[in-house]
Amino acid sequence: MYVAVKGGETAIANAHAFQAEQRRGDAAQAPLTLGQIEQQLGLAVDRVMGEGALYDRGLAALAIKQARGDLVEAAFLVRAYRTTLPRFGYSLPVDTARMTVLRRVSATYKDLPGGQVLGPTFDYSHRMLDFALAADAGEGGGGEAPGAPLAEAPLDPAMPHVTALLDSEGLIQPEPPAEPDAPPPGDITRDPLLFPAPRDLRLQSLARGDEGFLLALGYSVQRGYGGSHPFVGEIRQGPVAVEIVPEELGFAIDIGDIDLTECEMVNQFKGSRLRPPQFTRGYGLVFGWSERKAMAMSLVDRALRAGELGEERRGPAQDEEFVLYHADNVEGAGFVTHLKLPHYVDFQSELELIRRLRAEAEARLARASAEERAAADAFATAAV
Amino acid sequence: MDTLPARPATDPGYNFGYLDEQTKRMIRRALLKAVAIPGYQVPFGSREMPLPYGWGTGGIQITASIIGPADTLKVIDQGADDTTNAVSIRRFFARVAGVATTERTAVATIIQTRHRIPERPLSAGQILVYQVPQPEPLRQLEPREAEARKMHALADYGLMHVKLYEDIARFGRIATSYNYPVMVNGRYLMAPSPIPAFDNPKMHRMAALQLFGAGREKRIYAVPPHTEVQSLDFDDHPFKVWRADRCCDLCGAPDSYLDEVVTDDKGGRMFVCSDTDHCAERRGAGHRGPLAGHALQEIAEGKS
Amino acid sequence: MSAAEPILSVRGLSRRFGAIAAVREVSFDLWPGEVMGVVGESGSGKTTLLHLVSGSLRPDAGTVLFRDRQGAMQDIQAMSEPARRMLARTDWGIVHQNPRDGLRMNVSAGANVGERLMAVGARHYGNIRGAAEDWLARVEMDLGRIDDLPRTFSGGMQQRLQIARTLVTHPRLVFMDEPTGGLDVSVQARLLDLIRNLVAVLGLSAIIVTHDLAVTRLLAHRLMVMQRGQVVETGLTDQVLDDPQHPYTQLLVSSVLAA
């Protein structure tokens, strides 16, 4: 009996069982624990938290394990779970000036109040595979590095933002202070993004946007598709306190710390008919230790401000609909992969159409050549 | 032959219909607005669902917001109940809402669909929920969302006819075969989702409520029962419906939309109803197509 | 409506950009069937004036009144956006210096001409096609190219197509911004000839902004000379060009003669 290629429930269940088996891999290997993922693949966890838009290291580690290390799939798992979570309220804005800084670098000043703090970084490491790490952890400790030495003196607790230093001279465009009657920032996880999008919504979209996409756009800005001349004013990383004001208390309470990476990019601006020359800002803020993404984000944020600064839009990074509609990898991955779903009804209608158009075109051609032959015959007859 | 047992137990870890009640309320508000302004795309706070964007999240969110324990749900993809994504979505609702599911168009109260409208005319009280990949009919002509919204606001739709003009100039006919744009209630230009143009006339003054959900693009729109839905055309090139010039090889239906099935690599073809329930119902009533029965058996076994 | 009443009446139009007064206190009337040239160097405010009068830019002060087909004077600023858009695709026409700004480069020549008809409700393919053919013929284009894309055309041909697209709805007022700018001299001459004939045959009212005095000599009945956002001299074209009164106009005229 003829059966069209259609998947029954059994086929789907079997496919998922097969995937679970592949995920586990060789049973002779010890299974990964969430603690191992959280501790030893911390930057993967950070990326999944950022793009999954949920700060929970344990859930991110679970998602990474379930997704077999596919971080885009893991971010999707976290997002889908996030949908089901109740919302208790909004925190106060986090104050990154009060961050417990573990890393802080500025490219614009050799030294500055609070100093340069290198912190944990891949920078200046030679990217040579470290075969000591390949040794099995079970046999002789696995060649793991000993702990890092402690600094001789604690860091200066005062770590002013570099942009605040420029601000005091009036050299950098001030961030507009929140007006008392201004509406609270929007929330792209509750309301659809509409265009033109204000900066709060742009920053939210970028903060959970795909790192690869932002990296490419930021790179394009540097190569001339958007004409920016950026300097890293400052990158800072470390834990920041999150505070909420419960209605019944009426004052702020600290509910814990989250690790953040913040990047403030200082950009040249030559001025326009409307504004004197001044430095302008690009801003990046990402969950966890995600320096590359925070930097790319700050480049793209600045590029998207072309409109308000009266700059000509020349590159894709300056086009807010292009950037914001395509930055989300959960949306993008879904829509790209949906092409493997059956489309045979639309395809059938296209088939019918193409066949009809071809038949008509061939009929026209045949008619034309018949007319041509007739004309040639008539000419020949006349000539005789 | 329903594939699922009626009313399975719901997953206790999730709210009825997966979405929380606040989200459902938000979506219902958007639906009310959409019904009040037929064909207008209402932005809504689309949520991430446990199925990927582009795989029916808009339709799923609508269904999740309107479904109740007494509903009977049918899910089709390409007209068929047994395609993998339809099975997956039906299973999802069986799991998170515990509702009865069916493959029979006649008894379903909610039908979620991708790319088809069932052949059997729908009746008052039924709701047809479309999964929509791209809600904006002007998108290919005007990629800017802000500009497209302005064109809708001003009913500035000349550009859409420019596209049809170009088709006729090049091909001698309008060369759009699916997702064929329609005017709703004489006011809003609307994408009917990628249903074949064959299905467009069924939308016109349909007795059932038609709801459209685009999850990734975060838009909901609607056609209330008995609303006028006209396919765009020119006076001298009127809209025409096309289908394969055949009858169904299984049930003999001369007027249903047909899938073309390749049976071998020597040009062998058969044509069968894309609406599997329609086909099964006709065969149940004794209708037979040319390849039903023995002839069909032979094709499957590679003989003849 | 009698010719004794202006079709366009502009009063006290001003617009600043930051510290720069781009247009200062400009007033004038345009009469039915009249072609007015606005001349001046780049930066004199003539293009800004065109944007203000055609409603694509809001003035800081001043009014623009347009006489509609019923004879009533409509305040352009006070009109709703839909009404202004409708006006822009029926009674008004804009010919841009760069045809790319006035054409859809990705649809055929015929569709470019037909679009304005379809935008105001034409729904008969044969009639739309006929009108497109008629207008391509009137701007002396090869009908065999009706289905070709504008980007396959030369600059002069693109400009002809833009004019056909603009005139197909029989506008009563046409704005032209350097319509022959960027074209070769011989192409310019033929295009100017075409524009002059069409304007005369159709009885169009028009405002032509140009830095080229030769263009105004050919097309304009009346001339308005602008310098630093202000009108410094007005008068009949021949009178202004042959006997300029204002030192700036004298400079403009003499520099043309010297060139």
Enumerate the residues of chain C whose CB falls inside 8 A of the CB of residue B156.
Answer: 85, 119
Mean pLDDT computed over B147-169: 92
**Residue C17 distance to chain A (closest CA, Å):** 7
Stretch (H or E) spanning A103: strand A103-105
As a three-state string, the secondary structure of chain B is CCCCCCCCCCCCCCECCECCHHHHHHHHHHHHHHHHCCCCCEECCCCCCCCCCCCCHHHHHHHHHHCCCCCEEEEEECCECCCHHHHHHHHHHHHHCCCEECCCHHHCCEEEEECCCCCCCCCCCCEEEEECCCCCCCCCCCCCHHHHHHHHHCCCCHHHHHHHHHHHHHHCCCCCCECCCEEECCCEEECCCCCEHHHHHHHCCCCCEEEEEECCCCEEEEECCCCCEEECCECCECCCCCCCCCCCCCCCCCCCCEEEEECCCCCCEEEEECCHHHHHHHHHCCCCCCCCCHHHHHHHCCCC
Cis status, amide bond into B5, omega within 30 of 0: no
* DSSP secondary structure of chain C: --TTS-SEEEEEEEEEETTEEEEEEEEEEE-TT-EEEEE--TTSSHHHHHHHHTTSS--SEEEEEEE-TTS-EEETTTS-HHHHHHHHHTTEEEE-SSHHHHS-TTS-HHHHHHHHHHHTT---HHHHHHHHHHHHHHTT--GGGTTS-GGGS-HHHHHHHHHHHHHTT--SEEEEESTTTTS-HHHHHHHHHHHHHHHHHHT-EEEEEES-HHHHHHH-SEEEEEETTEEEEEEEHHHHHHS--SHHHHHHHHHHHH-
pLDDT of residue C239: 94
Pairwise CA distance, residues B109 & A139, whole Å: 64
Of the candidate ranges A329-338, B8-17, B142-151, the one whose mean pLDDT is the lowest? B8-17
- pLDDT bin (cut points 50, 70, 90) of residue C18 is confident
**Residue C114 distance to chain B (closest CA, Å):** 8
Residue B248 annotated as catalytic = yes
Chain B, residues 202-221, CB within 8 A of chain A, namely: 216, 218-219
Reading the block at residue B250, the tokens are: 């299984």
User: What is the per-residue pLDDT across C75-128, written as a single tens digit (0 to 9) for each?
Assistant: 998 998 888 888 888 899 999 999 988 999 889 999 999 999 999 889 999 999
B172: closest chain C residue by CA? C125
pLDDT score of B241 more than 90: no
Neighbours of chain A (3+ CB pairs under 8 A): B, C
Q: Name C38's Cβ contacts closer than 8 Å, sequence gap at least 6.
A: C46, C49, C50, C207, C208, C209, C210, C223, C224, C226
φ/ψ region of A319 (left if φ > 0, alpha if ψ in -120 to 50, else beta) reads: beta
Pairwise CA distance, residues B65 & A128, whole Å: 54
- More confidently predicted of A219 and A307: A219
Q: Number of residue pairs across B and C with CB atoms under 8 Å?
A: 50
The answer to whether the Cα torsion of C48, C49, C54, C55 is positive or negative is positive
Closest CA to C9 of C56, C72, C89: C72
Asked if the Cβ–Cβ distance from B169 to C126 is below 8 Å, we say no
Give bridge partners of residue A253 from the DSSP assignment.
A244
Pairwise CA distance, residues B133 & A338, whole Å: 9
Query: What value does the CA radius of gyration of chain B take, rounded to a whole number of Å?
Result: 20
Reading the block at residue A134, the tokens are: 């390949």
Neighbours of chain C (3+ CB pairs under 8 A): A, B
Pairwise CA distance, residues B168 & A293, whole Å: 49
**Residue C15 distance to chain A (closest CA, Å):** 14
- Residue type for position A9: E
Reading the block at residue B158, the tokens are: 């000349």
**Residue A203 distance to chain C (closest CA, Å):** 29
* DSSP secondary structure of C137-198: HHTT--GGGTTS-GGGS-HHHHHHHHHHHHHTT--SEEEEESTTTTS-HHHHHHHHHHHHHH
pLDDT of residue C256: 66
Question: Given B18, B114, B196, which is nearest A349 (Cβ)?
Answer: B196
User: What is the per-residue pLDDT across A270-283, written as a single tens digit (0 to 9) for each?
Assistant: 666 556 778 888 99
Q: Residue A282, SS3?
A: strand
B171: closest chain C residue by CA? C147
Residue A232 burial (CB < 10 Å; 0-12/13-18/19+)?
middle
User: What is the per-residue pLDDT across A197-211, written as a single tens digit (0 to 9) for each?
Assistant: 999 999 999 999 999
C147: closest chain B residue by CA? B169
A186: closest chain B residue by CA? B45
State what percent of residues in chain B have pLDDT above 90: 72
Q: What is the phi/psi pair of residue B68, to 5°?
A: -130, 170
User: What is the per-residue pLDDT across A310-332, written as a single tens digit (0 to 9) for each?
Assistant: 788 889 999 999 999 999 999 99
pLDDT score of B11 more than 90: no
A276: closest chain C residue by CA? C18
- More confidently predicted of A75 and B54: A75
Residue B279 annotated as catalytic = yes
Pairwise CA distance, residues A370 & B5, whole Å: 65
* Interchain CB contact of C251 with A (< 8 Å): no
* Interchain CB contact of B154 with C (< 8 Å): yes
- More confidently predicted of A376 and B215: B215
First to last CA, chain C: 44
* Interchain CB contact of C48 with A (< 8 Å): no
- pLDDT bin (cut points 50, 70, 90) of residue B141 is confident
**Dihedral of the alpha carbons of A333, A338, A340, A341, in degrees to the nearest 10:** 160
pLDDT score of B62 more than 60: yes
pLDDT score of A136 more than 80: no
**Residue B23 distance to chain A (closest CA, Å):** 9
Question: Given C89, C111, C147, which is nearest B162 (Cβ)?
Answer: C111
* Interchain CB contact of C78 with A (< 8 Å): no
pLDDT of residue B6: 46
Residue B45 annotated as catalytic = no
Neighbours of chain B (3+ CB pairs under 8 A): A, C
Q: Name A298's Cβ contacts closer than 8 Å, sequence gap at least 6.
A: A218, A230, A263, A264, A265, A282, A283, A284
pLDDT of residue B303: 46
- More confidently predicted of B71 and A227: B71
Considering chain A, what is the average pLDDT of its residues? 88
How many other C-beta atoms lie within 10 A of the C-beta of residue A118?
A: 11
State what percent of residues in chain C have pLDDT above 90: 64
Of the candidate ranges A306-315, B133-142, C7-16, C191-200, the one whose mean pLDDT is the lowest? A306-315
- Residue type for position A101: V
Of the candidate ranges A3-17, A329-343, B151-165, C11-25, the one whose mean pLDDT is the lowest? A3-17
How many other C-beta atoms lie within 10 A of the C-beta of residue B28?
A: 13
- pLDDT bin (cut points 50, 70, 90) of residue A383 is low
Asked if the Cβ–Cβ distance from A349 to B177 is below 8 Å, we say yes
Query: Hey, of A272, A273, A275, A309, which one would you mutate to test binding to chain C, going by the most C CBs within 10 A of its CB?
Result: A273
Considering chain B, what is the average pLDDT of its residues? 90
Enumerate the residues of chain B whose CB falls inside 8 A of the CB of residue A357.
Answer: 171, 173, 175
pLDDT of residue A1: 35
Most confident of A257-266, B237-246, C190-199: A257-266
pLDDT of residue B5: 42
A272: closest chain C residue by CA? C18
State what percent of residues in chain A have pLDDT above 70: 92
Enumerate the residues of chain A whose CB falls inside 8 A of the CB of residue B262.
Answer: none
| Contact criterion met (CB below 8 Å) for C35 and C205 | yes
